């Protein structure tokens, strides 16, 4: 049974939290994903086995949280994540951001670095609304988005497709992280599959080239797709989180 956080913005965020030692692990899901996904649940089980605090939650318009998905945007979901991080965790956390959650985790690391002990991203999709969506739209799609406020894109993950709104695109432009310097002073691990059709490997390479920091590594997994949820991929996520925690704890010793 989920608990709920009522945010200052008036949104009700569903979450599952386990108590344990810090730094805790916070999972940030992807676009139209939720806290019951394979990676989120597996990471919570891993943390529980080790007595490590963990948190997984649904952005507004996702899963069991309030609101309609089509009303939301990157800024809303970032605010949801920030509220969850600030109000539901104690001390700095290791963020694990999947796809869009990778973008949101980078926003959190930029805006409240004191709460981010370390960072692991899985097929991170920074700036995807601009670089992977708007940039790929045809002129007809761009016109429809501006005139009608939305377009529907086919998806491997949703039979009805993804609704892309004008608000999502326009708000995303105020949340970009690859246009200005991005320093990540915490341990960082980027994970990326070479067979990802949703977020190309070039995005991971661009992100790696763009950021600065003392302890940043990129791991490419041959043949892994965007889901990154095979047993081997899940173990790689867990090992990456463990390595980041070890780095944090050594630095604090």
CB 24 within 8 A of CB 48: no
CA 165/CA 25 separation, integer angstroms: 31
CB 223 within 8 A of CB 253: no
Catalytic-labelled residue, pool 99, 171, 198, 240: 99
Our answer to whether residue 62 is catalytic in this structure is no
Per-residue confidence (pLDDT) for residue 253, from 0 to 100: 66
CB 60 within 8 A of CB 72: yes
Q: How is residue 215 annotated by DSSP?
A: S
Closest CA to 86 of 13, 35, 1: 13
Q: What percent of the chain has pLDDT over 70?
A: 98
Cis check: omega of the bond before 23, within 30 degrees of 0: yes
- pLDDT tens for each residue of 167-204: 999 999 999 999 999 999 999 999 999 999 999 999 99
Per-residue confidence (pLDDT) for residue 2, from 0 to 100: 84
Is residue 149 over pLDDT 80? yes
CA 126/CA 89 separation, integer angstroms: 24
Q: Which CATH architecture has domain 3-127+176-248?
A: 3-Layer(aba) Sandwich (3.40)
Distances (CA, A) of 52 to 47, 49, 164, 241, 242: 5, 8, 37, 11, 11
Domain ranges of the chain: 3-127+176-248
For every residue of 122-142, DSSP letters joined together read: ES--TTHIIIIIGGG--HHHH
Model confidence at 159, pLDDT cuts 50, 70, 90, reads: low
Our answer to whether residue 196 is catalytic in this structure is yes
Bridge partners, residue 40, by sequence: none
Per-residue confidence (pLDDT) for residue 251, from 0 to 100: 83
Our answer to whether residue 240 is catalytic in this structure is no
Instruction: Tally Cβ neighbours within 10 Å of residue 223.
Output: 9
To the nearest whole number, what is the mean pLDDT of the chain? 95
Query: What is the rounded average pLDDT of the residues 57-62?
Result: 97
- pLDDT tens for each residue of 79-124: 999 999 999 999 999 999 999 999 999 999 999 999 999 999 999 9
Catalytic-labelled residue, pool 16, 105, 226, 240: 226
Bridge partners, residue 150, by sequence: 165
User: Pairing mode, if any, of strands 162-165 and 52-57?
Assistant: unpaired
């Amino acid at each position: 049974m989920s608990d709920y956080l009522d945010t200052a913005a008036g949104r009700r965020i569903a979450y599952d939290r386990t108590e344990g030692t810090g730094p805790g692990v916070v999972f940030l899901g992807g676009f139209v994903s939720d806290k019951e996904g394979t990676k989120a649940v597996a990471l919570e089980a891993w943390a529980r086995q080790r007595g490590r605090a963990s948190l997984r939650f649904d952005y507004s318009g996702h899963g069991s949280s309030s609101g309609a998905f089509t009303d939301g945007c990157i800024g809303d979901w970032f605010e949801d994540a920030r509220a969850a991080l600030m109000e539901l965790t104690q001390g700095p956390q290791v963020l694990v951001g999947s796809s869009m959650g990778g973008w949101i985790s980078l926003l959190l690391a930029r805006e409240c670095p004191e709460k981010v002990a370390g960072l692991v991203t899985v097929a991170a999709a920074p700036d995807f609304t601009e670089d992977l969506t708007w940039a790929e739209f045809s002129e007809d799609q761009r016109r429809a988005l501006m005139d009608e406020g939305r377009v529907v894109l086919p998806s491997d993950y949703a039979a009805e497709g993804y609704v892309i709104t004008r608000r999502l695109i326009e708000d995303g432009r105020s949340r970009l992280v690859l246009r200005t310097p991005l320093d990540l002073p915490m341990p960082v691990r980027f994970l990326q599959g070479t067979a990802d059709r949703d977020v190309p490997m070039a995005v991971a390479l661009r992100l790696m080239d763009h950021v600065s920091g003392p302890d940043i590594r990129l791991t490419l997994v041959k043949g892994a797709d965007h889901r990154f949820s095979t047993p081997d991929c899940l173990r790689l996520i867990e090992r990456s989180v463990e390595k980041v925690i070890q780095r944090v704890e050594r630095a604090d010793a």
